[in-house]
Chains A and B, each alone.
Chain A
Amino acid sequence: MEILVCVKRVPQVGGRIVITPDGQDVETRMSGFAMSPHEECAVEEAVRLTQRFGGTAVVLTLGPPEAAEQLREALAIGAGHGILLETDGREWGPIATAAAITEAVRRKAAPGPGYDLLLFGNEAADTGDYQVGVRVAESLGWPCATGIKQLEIDGATVRARREYRGTAETFEFGLPAVVTVKEGINLPRYPSLPGRLRAKRAVLEQHQPQWSADGLRKTGLRVPAERRQQATVLGSGPDAVPALVRMLEELGVLR
């Protein structure tokens, strides 16, 4: 089974987000980078499926040369091959990103064997656009399910499950297909030492796709005005419990 899993390099944000002085980007001089959380699960799912059914989990990212780091993270936990669609650091919208990924899928299908399954994270942590998987599926004419938290593959049939407002929705369709997954579908493993060494040595496939504008233009980023305050300290340790009980009474949450 040939699986392509697509990941995006995003800043690792901890306690707070800082904007660059020009108001255009997230300040990343002090932060590390990682793939988006949903995508860590997409990589894990791809590795599990190829361990079960054979074949290769190929990991792809579209981003600056430094995004090779995220490909190596995926290779370290068991992906077999990495593809970097290299950009000049500009932000790519969902239409241009989907076009570049579609091109990569067709490039693989031309000599064959093509991919059976494309996995994405449901949405990237930074932009949250929720579109690239669907747009790729549509341009390939493949079925697609999004927001998936449970995935079964039985021969050439995909059964994908998600929750919607307290109801479980199950989608069933044939391969080849596109599935976007959410954190919770699995618990990603930690890379092993041999895995890391293999990832470090791996040769990455590289292409330079063409950027295009897509009609939605960012003019600036802002941190929203938030409730910032200092908590009223009720006390320390178990001695604070009477004050805590009184406060819960005042808030009206005691039954």
Chain B
Amino acid sequence: MSVLCLTELDATGSVASTSLRALALARGLAAAGTGQLAAVVFGPADQLPLDELGGAAVTDVYAVPPEHLAGYAPRAWASVLAGMIAQAGATALVAAATDRGSEVMAYVGAITGQPVAANCLSAESAADGTYRLVRQRWGGLLLEDAVLEATAALLTVVPDTPPEEENEAAPDTTEPALHLHRPELTEADLVVRAAETADQGGGASLATARVVVGGGRGVGGPDGFAPLEELASLLGGVVGVSRVVTSQGWRPHSQQVGQTGTKITPELYLACGISGAIQHMAGCGSAKHIVAVNTDPAAPIMSRADYAVIGDLAEVIPALVAALKDRG
């Protein structure tokens, strides 16, 4: 009666931060049961961060090495996980709500005929065998309280919000037991399989930029972005835009910040000519500091920004660029 957690590694071989959040939620569920928490990792068994997994209270690691299943094949991953749930009599399977985690979990739900609770922030098991959940709706603009009734709880965990109880007692750091798992796959499991190539898209740098200069409807048109670009480059940052800008075709969608674009987490978000519709705030709400430049002192962004300049960005931004250049 264990809890399973689909665990992804980042480019350096450490546990991905998104999976650490999933593991934290899974740890809470495991602690309320037998304490057994199993991480399932698709990748080479000799390069696993076992110390780090032990630190996350993982008791067992199931590795599915590339010689058995190479690359990303969503249905195959799901079929392995569904098999493990049945074999281990697992009470719950948890994954980060990343594109892969969400996709794999949807397959597990479809294969097992069970519901999936997506985008959870917290989950606890109740005495009657159900789970009490809090999950996000509208990209985090709303919270839903829900009850889940299922043989095995299938949960995805919001990847970009810290878990509620971060500072629990330090978990036991015993190194977990490593098991090699050889899956039995069918042809149907492998029909959809990813071929990976380096990407030219700008989405990744926007997501991790320290400074983002945002442009909205107030920029006025595709020709208005040059001063914003210049400012972004002076600040070592990148340009992000609102949905209006991409729907008008002024800038490519890869630069969109918002619920349907990229979620950003910069030190500084300088929002120029952006009213602050909630679909946009869902993407920039995690910025450490927000500074707004807007002609309208009553715009919604004014109640979310730390600082504001009331004025036309076409005058303010070139003046700011000139001032920063003078400064050397």
* A residues with CB within 8 A of B: 13-17, 19, 26, 37-38, 93-95, 98, 123, 125-131, 133-135, 137-139, 141, 143-147, 149, 162-173, 182-184, 187-188, 214-224, 226-238, 240-242, 244-245, 247-248, 251-255
* Most central of A125, A128, A219, A255 by chain B CB within 10 Å: A128
Would A232 and B306 be within 8 Å (CB), given that A215-B114, A241-B319 are in contact? yes
Q: Which A residues touch B285, using CB under 8 A?
A: 226-227
Q: Which A residues touch B292, using CB under 8 A?
A: 231
Q: Which B residues touch A93, using CB under 8 A?
A: 115
**Interface residue count on the B side (C-beta < 8 Å):** 101
Nearest chain A CB to B6's CB is how many angstroms away? 14
Contact assessment for A253 and B211 in the assembled complex, using a CB-CB cutoff below 8 Å: yes
Complex Cα spacing A93 to B118, Å: 12
Tell me which of A141, A144, A241, A244 contacts B192 (CB under 8 A).
A144
Tell me which of B100, B246, B290 contacts A164 (CB under 8 A).
B100
* Chain A residue with the shortest CB-CB distance to B204: A166
Contact assessment for A17 and B146 in the assembled complex, using a CB-CB cutoff below 8 Å: no
Contact assessment for B316 and A251 in the assembled complex, using a CB-CB cutoff below 8 Å: no
26 CB < 8 A contacts A-B: A17-B278, A19-B142, A95-B115, A128-B139, A147-B103, A149-B253, A164-B99, A168-B197, A168-B199, A169-B72, A171-B194, A182-B260, A183-B260, A184-B256, A184-B261, A219-B147, A221-B143, A221-B144, A221-B145, A222-B145, A233-B297, A238-B315, A244-B320, A245-B324, A247-B291, A253-B235
Q: Which B residues touch A240, using CB under 8 A?
A: 309-311, 316
Would A231 and B305 be within 8 Å (CB), given that A17-B141, A247-B291, A251-B267 are in contact? yes
Would A168 and B196 be within 8 Å (CB), given that A16-B300, A135-B106, A236-B309 are in contact? yes
Complex Cα spacing A93 to B115, Å: 9
Tell me which of A17, A94, A214, A255 contacts B142 (CB under 8 A).
A17
Q: Which B residues touch A147, using CB under 8 A?
A: 99, 103
